[in-house]
Amino acid sequence: MKRLNAAVCTLSLLLVGCAAPSVPLTTVPSADYSAAIADPARPATDRDRDAARLPATLLAFARVEPGQKVGDYVMGGGYVTRLLAAAVGPTGKVYAFQPAEFIAFKAQYGTDQAAVDAAYANVDAVGGPFAAPAFPEPLDVIITVQNFHDLYLKPFPAGTGDRASAALFAALKPDGVLVVVDHSAAAGTGTTLSDSLHRIDKAAVVAALTKAGFELEAESDLYSHPADPRTANVFDAAIRGKTDQFTLRFRKPG
């Protein structure tokens, strides 16, 4: 029945735009993340971002727990990677993926990945093409923040989004969780604004991942900013840091 309900909700979202089961900001974490957030290994620049990025609520929504094997898909500067390393603890493992294409475009991506890998005993750097992350073992959780729209940038060949979605599905254990956070585009725009505005229509993400086999399990208003008209580039100074973002949790059927 649970899978049937998930399938019905996902179909409804695609057809008429209904929301997934909503998870309010008051969600009670399944683990205590205060120690992870207070981890002295986290730099001051990370702490400065916590007020906007609400790390405890993100970790709770992703159901991250000590001892898990987790992935940060497109780790960027490592903000999420460092949180995950502290949250899963010494018995867990974090695989920090940086696409080879990103490193080729900007060497700093490789430098940041190497630095996080060296700083944490439970973090391993993972490379490979954007659409084929080389995670070495099945994972409990994967988080990707503000990166899914990049799969539809013009430099990447057609089908990159579908191949990456399938790779993420394959990388998870049965019943594993994928959390996607990204900048909202207007409904009905699909992936057409990925280049110009660095935004993506939530329904396009749901379509790509359900096609790969995922079930949409829940949605959070964690980074909701209703005042954002969703018409400006996310790097525009007038909107940067205040974009409306969707937060979705998908599950690989067990």
Question: Is domain 2-251 classified as CATH 3.40.50.150?
Answer: yes
Place of tokens 């890998």: 117
User: What's the mean pLDDT in 1-15?
Assistant: 40
pLDDT score, position 20: 57
Amino acid sitting at position 134: A
pLDDT tens digits for 81-128? 999 999 999 999 999 999 999 999 999 999 999 999 999 999 999 999
Distance between CA atoms of 148 and 198, rounded to whole angstroms?
10
pLDDT-derived band at 221, boundaries 50, 70, 90: very high
Whether 168 and 201 have beta carbons less than 8 Å apart is answered as no
Distance between CA atoms of 57 and 63, rounded to whole angstroms?
10
Whether 201 and 191 have beta carbons less than 8 Å apart is answered as yes
pLDDT score, position 32: 81
Percentage of the chain lying above the pLDDT 70 cut: 88
| Rg of the chain in Å (alpha carbons) | 17
Does the pLDDT of residue 29 top 90, yes or no? Answer: no
User: What's the mean pLDDT in 194-219?
Assistant: 98
The mean pLDDT value of the chain amounts to 90
Distance between CA atoms of 232 and 241, rounded to whole angstroms?
12
pLDDT-derived band at 22, boundaries 50, 70, 90: low
Does the pLDDT of residue 17 top 50, yes or no? Answer: no
pTM of this prediction?
0.89
Please report which helix (H) or strand (E) contains residue 172, including its range: strand 172-183
pLDDT score, position 216: 98
